[in-house]
Chains A and B, each alone.
Chain A
Amino acid sequence: MRTSGRPAVTRLVPVLPFLWLGAFFLLPVLITLKISLSAAATAQPPYLPVLDWSAGPEGWGTFLEELDFANFETLANDALYRDAALSSLSLAAIATAFLLVVGTPIAYAMARAPARVQPLLVALVIVPFWTSFLIRIYAWIAILKPEGLLSAGLMRLGLIDRPLELLNTQAAVLIGLTYAYLPFMVLPLYAVFARLDPRLRDAAADLGASPTRVFWSVTLPLAGPGLMAGALLCFVPMVGEFIIPDLLGGSDTLMLGRVLWSEFFSNRDWPLASAVAILLLILVVGPLVLFREAETRRTEAAR
Chain B
Amino acid sequence: MSVLNRVALGLGLTFLYAPILVLAVYSFNASALVTVWGGFSTRWYAILFADRPLIDAALVSLRVAAASALVATILGGLAALALDRAGRFAGRSLFTGLVYAPMVMPEVITGLSLLLLFVGIGLDRGIVTLVIAHATLGLGFVAVLVGARLKGLDLALELAAADLGAGPLRVYATITLPLIAPALAAGFLLAFTLSLDDLVIASFVSGPGATTLPMRLYSQVRLGVNPEINAASTLLVAGVTVIVLGATWLTGRNAAKAGPTYGA
A: which residues have CB within 8 A of B? 1-3, 6-7, 9-11, 13-14, 16-18, 20-22, 24-29, 31-32, 35, 45, 102, 105-106, 108-110, 112-114, 118-119, 121-128, 130-136, 138-143, 145, 147-149, 152, 179, 182-183, 186-188, 190-191, 194-195, 211, 232-233, 236-237, 239-243, 247, 256-257, 260-261, 264-265, 270, 273-274, 277, 280-281, 284, 288, 291-292, 295-296, 299, 302-303
B117 touches A119 (CB 8 A): no
Interface residues on chain B, number (Cβ under 8 Å): 101
**What chain B residues lie within 8 Å of A145 (beta carbons)?**
34, 225
> Shortest distance in angstroms between B179's beta carbon and chain A's nearest beta carbon?
16
Q: Name A3's contact: one of B9, B87, B117, B133 (CB within 8 Å).
A: B87
Judged by DSSP, the binding face of B is helix
Given the known interface contacts A131-B236, A260-B108, the answer about A14 and B147 at a Cβ–Cβ threshold of 8 Å is no
> Any chain A CB within 8 A of the CB of B237?
yes
**What chain B residues lie within 8 Å of A140 (beta carbons)?**
19
Within B115-169, which residues are at the interface with A (CB < 8 Å)?
116-117, 119-120, 132-133, 135-136, 139, 143, 147, 151, 155, 159, 167-169
What are the 7 closest A-B residue pairs judged by CB atoms, nearest first? A240-B106, A28-B113, A14-B82, A109-B5, A106-B12, A187-B262, A139-B19
Given the known interface contacts A132-B236, A261-B108, the answer about A21 and B113 at a Cβ–Cβ threshold of 8 Å is no
> Any chain A CB within 8 A of the CB of B187?
no
> Any chain A CB within 8 A of the CB of B183?
no
Q: Name A132's contact: one of B1, B197, B224, B243 (CB within 8 Å).
A: B197
Judged by DSSP, the binding face of A is helix
B: which residues have CB within 8 A of A? 1-2, 4-6, 8-9, 12-13, 15-17, 19-20, 22-23, 26, 34-35, 75-76, 78-79, 81-82, 85-89, 91-92, 95-110, 112-114, 116-117, 119-120, 132-133, 135-136, 139, 143, 147, 151, 155, 159, 167-169, 190, 193, 196-197, 199-200, 203-204, 214, 217-218, 221-222, 224-225, 229, 233, 236-237, 240-241, 243-245, 248, 252, 255, 259-264
**What chain B residues lie within 8 Å of A296 (beta carbons)?**
96
B105 touches A123 (CB 8 A): no
Complex formed: what's the CA distance from A26 to B99 in Å? 11
Complex formed: what's the CA distance from A284 to B92 in Å? 22
**What chain B residues lie within 8 Å of A11 (beta carbons)?**
86, 89
> Shortest distance in angstroms between A76's beta carbon and chain B's nearest beta carbon?
19
Given the known interface contacts A13-B86, A191-B260, A247-B221, the answer about A21 and B99 at a Cβ–Cβ threshold of 8 Å is yes
Complex formed: what's the CA distance from A122 to B259 in Å? 13
A2 touches B79 (CB 8 A): no
